[in-house]
Amino acid sequence: MARLFCDKPYNLDEAAARRGVPRRKRGDSRTTAYELTIRVPEEFRRYFGGKKKLTRTVFALNKRVDLKGKVKDFEDEKSAELDLALEADGKDPATLAPRAFAEMPFGEYCRRYVERRTGVVAKGTTVNERRYLAYARATLGEIPLKDLTADDVERCLLAVPRLSEEWAAEHRRRLEENRARKWREGNHRRQKPFGPLRVAGPQMQNKVLKFVREVLNDALDREHVTKNVAKKRFLSKGFRKGKPLIDPLMEDEAGRFLREASLLPTGALKVAVLVLFATGMRPEEMLALRVGSFSPADAERGRDAELRIVAALRDGEIEGFTKSDSSMRTVPVDSYTASVIEEWIEAKRADLAEMGLVMNSATPLLGTAGRPWPYESFRNEWGRFIERAGFKGMRPYALRHTFATINLARGENVKTISVLLGHADASYTLDLYVGYIPSTTRGLADRYVGGLAPELAESPKAA
């Protein structure tokens, strides 16, 4: 059977909320509206009247069962239509579709994968995937999907630093030529000297590896290949760890960093730094916090101060959804950070009142006059702070890794930390930070038996 596959379902209700328009009418108000899209391969478009894509709007109560069933029904229906059309055309649907994709150059398959996700994933994700796509096409672009091997994948990864340096040098050459042209045309304005070339290293190699794995997983799910050759077991030892960069602070460094942050004057930067440090949330989640996201401690009810994470900052706007469903969560806040947030909210309330504005629960916690704090502005302030504090080059994301590694090293439950970080699965948290979890094997056997029969543990000899 020739198979057609849907893109990731597009949430129409979220899109309507972002545009400020009402939801579509529906029979059951509890359902969510999704748009399903099947992008028709070029060789099959004539069987669907030349259409490049097929769409359908569905209403689902949940993603796990209801929406998944509607996606399968849509795929089965259109795949059956394609089978009938192929049979009427004298072609074998059982072999035609898989072969057409299996023989496609890997670079073209990657390009289709990225284009299929455009508009469904965040714009920043698409920009990054196009960057990884450039490395994949430069090294693996002409290899048929079915002929790709683990050696080819490793060759692509080894080429990343070289290609990065070549592309950076070419870009520098064009900039220098442009400066020289402007000088000849009479523009003698003083220019800053160029900095050193930035060349990609292990971090980009890991990101490219992860991208290739995701593309091949997609091909495997669609039955275009029989195995994912970028999986760990097919790669040599040097490329088995396709993990993101982990750059946490050690405990002594973390203590010094926290003391430096406490010396900052009360303001947006201090709140931002303390929130990242104390909760481990992502920077885009921190910048999307609203005043109503913060709940102060309630001693009478025995409740700690908390921050609710239900949005993320993307392209300068607060979007009412996070990286994934599991990223929507509530995280506890320590008493010191909570006191700084309360002080900042009161100062912000007074500043807005002077401008004739009223603070409400939807007011961004950071930023000015009802607008969120742009990420670029935050990074500029962050850069100046860490340079003064003696942590030059440190990423804001390092505080997320610091939160995870120190808590795990102190014996906190992996599942608890996974939930607080917003990971979809505790196994991902474990794989990412397993090197920071202390070993508890020493004395385990005696603790186990001695806890059940203390009299046996007291005597080294059997009775």
Rg (CA), the chain: 27
Tokens matching residue 132: 């990884």
Q: 437: which DSSP letter?
A: S
pLDDT 10s digits, 156-207: 998 999 999 999 999 999 999 998 998 888 888 888 888 788 888 878 888 8
Domains and CATH numbers, the chain: 10-102 (no CATH), 130-239 (1.10.150), 251-429 (1.10.443.10)
CB 230 within 8 A of CB 213: yes
pLDDT of residue 463: 47
CA distances from 359 to 294, 320, 364, 369 (A): 14, 19, 9, 9
CB 417 within 8 A of CB 405: no
3-state secondary structure of 368: strand
**Which pLDDT tens digits describe the chain residue by residue (463 residues)?**
567 888 888 889 888 887 888 888 888 888 999 999 988 887 788 888 888 889 999 999 887 788 888 988 998 888 888 888 887 877 766 555 555 678 889 998 998 888 877 766 777 888 899 999 999 999 999 999 989 999 999 899 989 999 999 999 999 999 999 989 988 888 888 888 887 888 888 788 888 998 999 999 888 887 788 889 988 778 877 666 555 557 789 999 999 999 999 999 999 999 999 999 999 999 999 999 999 999 998 888 888 899 999 888 887 888 877 777 778 899 999 999 999 999 999 998 888 888 888 888 889 999 876 789 999 999 999 999 999 999 988 889 899 999 999 999 988 999 999 999 998 888 888 878 877 887 767 777 777 787 788 777 665 554 4
Spatial CB neighbours of 34, under 8 Å, sequence gap ≥ 6: 9, 10, 11, 12, 57, 58, 59, 60, 67, 70
pLDDT 10s digits, 3-46: 788 888 888 988 888 788 888 888 888 899 999 998 888 778 88
**What's the pTM?**
0.58
Tokens matching residue 327: 């990223």
Q: 165-171 contacts: CB < 8 A, separation 24 or more?
A: 165/197, 165/199, 168/197, 168/198, 168/199, 169/197
CB 334 within 8 A of CB 278: yes
